[in-house]
Chains A and B, each alone.
Chain A
């Protein structure tokens, strides 16, 4: 059996070999191989989507922006002192996990749903949630379908392959006892084209994705998103398993952005709050405590995140709300304002 395995491994070993130069990382100690390598390289290697407005999208001159991109920028600001020192690798849904486990990237911020099997099974660790999403359906306005309860046997549904969407879709239609025709494409652009042409009656994916893709239709006003949400899609950044320090850095870079919003610290007022009366704020801007030392960073790491990237609210407003994708924050509002964004305290 072992020899069979060995032979089968042969074909792929070369692929891994190319990528394995980056090494894993020592768990337990304060040493982080990924951190050392990142400092040596001078940039954070970040995996993003191939273009999803609001999350990670490149403009005409190749500058990336979006709330996923801001996670990468926060890590770069914390670790390297400059939020622009990020190397972005656009990845398809299929490539993303392999790219991370093989070391081609060190952070995956690509609207990826946190699930048990992904977290536990394939050598990955999810560090938090930067967007609470849920799967929905888009239909033509003139179809007379106003709710998922109007779906009938024989409906055809287009979606992307290789995402949790495909699984949720089956769970949903099975629970409603509806026979449906699933058509799964590899790229989002082809799903949009096929749905737009009339190949399928409904297009299903995360609601944020539906809102973003609707803008690509030949006539966006002819389509609408149904009110129901059929799944939980907590999207968040992912790191490789086995480098606890790096994992903590990415987790707390994200948490810092959310906590900064909670305490009203933003990119314009952060440095002036160094002599605030509130110790929580003082810790956030590096005026109290030695929090950075826990991951081998200086004490201004969180101040740099807030100054260079901004807090979560600023990031959301700039990329998601002001672009018209989802003006209403919904669950992605702070817990103090009726949402479910709640992060452990930085102390």
Chain B
């Protein structure tokens, strides 16, 4: 080995020294904290371990997407909370994106009224703390909604009441065949798309891809209904009397008001930020691009689809990823209005029943980390897909 390379005057060696010191300092801080925690826990007779996850939880949860009751384990309760967090995040992201795009485009509208309404919406909803909005939607909605016996009826098949929104339950026969037909339709659409691309590139023909895709998506499941014994029945909610003045609905599916209020608050709030991203993205595309596209004879729709949107998306996606992450993390405010998300169920009830604060908070933090990283990975993949491809 060349001694000169290890000399302090060598720039590479010199650059390494502060890095090495930083890492050493960081490591010693971590080790100090960890051993300190272990010693203190030992002194106070607190054990550390994850065995409690297999113990019976013995508390019930309002709303669960998988089978759960108190005889299941804490691990299962964790899963219920996690799925509920994912559910409200997915619903929130879906509606926030739709509302965000509509509001963002509206802000650029030439119609004065539409543009101003969109602007006021953004300014009001992004400047009020989210927790207040959640309380507002929950308690305002609760106070405004009628009791079950006076529920707002939608054609007598669905009822909106203070105890929840009762909707018909879907009862499928041969659901797996129906599912197969959907998958088949998606595969068919993929082939239609690649065929259309080939036609365009080789012969310059434009096929009506979108209409064809929609047709396939309707036709194939329809065939499964007509010829393969798939059928769908509904179980409607029915008013049930529990005592002289207490009513509820039996049958059907209840969408609890906590979920509605939380999803509403999260999407209304996040939509304002997405709207600004969309506006920035569209304004960020050079005017010359549109004019150039028009000059080669593209229609207005084609300009938007083929020229403006691909470039705008590059600006929109990265900050919108941040908003998706924020929405997912903000869903932890659910605990305030009794929506059984992971924080309420696991970092709340389970923590208090077991007293295992360190274990449970670690698991919860790791879970949010995993959720956020998954969203990031997906959005980075999408971003790369949309990025400029040098040919």
Residues of A within 8 A of B (CB): 5-14, 16-17, 20, 23-24, 93-94, 97-98, 101, 117-118, 121-123, 140, 142-145, 150-156, 158, 161-163, 166-167, 169-171, 174, 180-187, 190, 193-194, 197-201, 240-242
Contact = CB atoms under 8 A, between A and B. Distances in A.
A143 B243 contact: yes
B358 to A, nearest CB: 5
Interface in B329-372: 335-338, 340, 344, 348-349, 351-359, 361-362, 365
Interface residues of B, number: 58
B162 A197 contact: yes
A135 to B, nearest CB: 14
A9 B358 contact: yes
Between A145, A166, A174, the greatest number of chain B beta carbons within 10 A of the residue's beta carbon is seen for A166
Given A143-B243, A166-B59, A240-B44, A154 B250 contact: yes
A161 B352 contact: yes
A19 B244 CA distance: 54
Contacts of A198: 142, 147, 162
B60 A199 contact: no
B142 A199 contact: yes
Contact of B62 (A6, A10, A183): A183
5 contacts: A8-B358, A118-B355, A150-B243, A167-B353, A184-B344
A60 B359 CA distance: 39
Nearest to B241: A152
Interface of B: 30-38, 40-41, 43-46, 48, 58-62, 70, 139, 142-143, 147, 162-163, 240, 242-246, 248, 250, 257-258, 335-338, 340, 344, 348-349, 351-359, 361-362, 365
A16 B336 contact: no
Best-buried of A9, A144, A153 by chain B (most CB within 10 Å): A9
The 8 closest A-B pairs by CB, nearest first: A13-B33, A162-B352, A122-B355, A144-B244, A13-B37, A24-B43, A197-B142, A154-B248
Given A93-B352, A122-B355, A170-B60, A14 B246 contact: no
A255 to B, nearest CB: 24
Contacts of B250: 153-154
A156 B163 contact: yes
Given A9-B38, A199-B257, A182 B62 contact: yes
Nearest to A118: B355
A155 B246 contact: yes
